[in-house]
Structure 1
Amino acid sequence: MTIKTGDRIPEVSVNVVRNGKTETVSSSSLFKGRKVVLFAVPGAFTPTCSLKHLPSYIDSAEAFAKRGVDLLCLAVNDAFVMQAWAASEKAPASIAMLADGNGAFTRALGLELDASGFGMGLRAQRFALYADDGVIKVLHIEAPGEFKVSGADAMLAELT
């Protein structure tokens, strides 16, 4: 079942890449007592993800920080790929890269995408959510093949 506004972020372990190091943390520890925008991409290094989605948050990282909002980028990729992608895109340390290698967190959110037709297997749908203390306040899920509602500008507009 897909999460919705008002739901609490499910409890799942996920790998986080911060400052070149990987650690396993609980999803609740990433959201508890914090204001967070979590944005998900179908895959690191894929065209829209690398040309538009992640760059929109890199360019707006300071604007989120000024609002007291932390940024998390999620992909169903391993921690090594997420680390390499962050480095290649020069993502600031303020954007934590979540490696959901087996898709457990993505499935718990109910936002998985079967990309087998593209040779990619299970992936995350493209989405962004805003959560305050682990409760989802805003959820934007993209229609297949689109990039209209999950970018940084759309989420910043929700926070004003």
Structure 2
Amino acid sequence: MTIQIGDHIPEVTLQRIREGVETLDTNALFDGRNIVLFAVPGAFTPTCSEKHLPGFVQHFDEFRSQGVEVACMSVNDPFVMQAWGQSQHVPEGLMMLADGNGDFARALGLELDASAYGMGRRARRFSLYAEDGVVKLLNVEAPGEFRVSSAEHMLSQLKQDL
């Protein structure tokens, strides 16, 4: 079942690289924080690299000025996420999270079967805003689209809600 507004973020582990590979529990990551999480089907893929991540990089300071942290997630390993972040000049503080086995995407009910394209199971393109681990805003893209999960759309929603 797909996560809904008002639901608590499911407990799963993710990874990222800082001083080495770090395992993060989603409860520890989301509890007590205001976070925008956006997910992409794959690091280094065209829409993800040309539009989705760059929008959040461009507007990162606007999110931070509203007291909102930003995290990018993909079903890739933490080394790929680190390299992608470096290639995209991701600012320090924008978390690049790896959902290597797709456990988090599956727990959210936002898994995508991209096997027909040789990409296996991935995360659907989406964005969400959570306060203290509870989903307050959720934007899930229709297949092949990029509109509602953009940084600009999320900022406009936050300006209405905050």
Q: TM-score range by the shorter chain?
A: over 0.9
SS in 1 for 2:53: helix
Output the amino acid matched with 1:106.
Answer: A
C-alpha displacement at 1:32, in angstroms? 0.6
Taking structure 2 as the reference length, the TM-score comes to: 0.96
| Helix, strand or coil at the partner of 2:71 | strand
Aligned partner of 2:91 in structure 1 is 92
8 A Cα contact 2:16 2:82, kept in partner: no
1:94 is displaced (CA, Å) by: 1.6
Q: Would you say 1:121 and 2:82 are equivalent positions?
A: no
Q: Is the 8 A contact 1:140 1:149 kept in 2?
A: yes
SS class of match (1:81): helix
| C-alpha distance in 2 between matches for 1:50 and 1:120 | 16
Q: Percent identity?
A: 59
The number of residues matched between the two structures is: 159
SS at match of 2:92: coil
Report the aligned-residue RMSD: 0.8
TM-score (structure 1 length as normaliser): 0.97
Distance 2:131 2:102 in 1: 23
**Which runs of at least 4 in structure 1 moved beyond 4 Å after TM superposition?**
none
Unaligned runs of 5+ in 2: none
Q: Which whole-Å deviations, capped at 9, do the CAs of 1:47-86 have from their partners, x for residues lacking one?
A: 0000000000000000000000000100000011001000
> What is the alpha-carbon distance in structure 1 between the residues aligned to residue 142 and residue 123 of structure 2?
13
Aligned mates of 1:74, 1:25 — CA distance in 2: 12
**Residue 98 of structure 1, CA deviation:** 0.6
Going from structure 1 to structure 2, the CA distance change for 1:127 and 1:136 (only over 3 Å counts) comes to: same
Deviation, 1:93, is 1.3
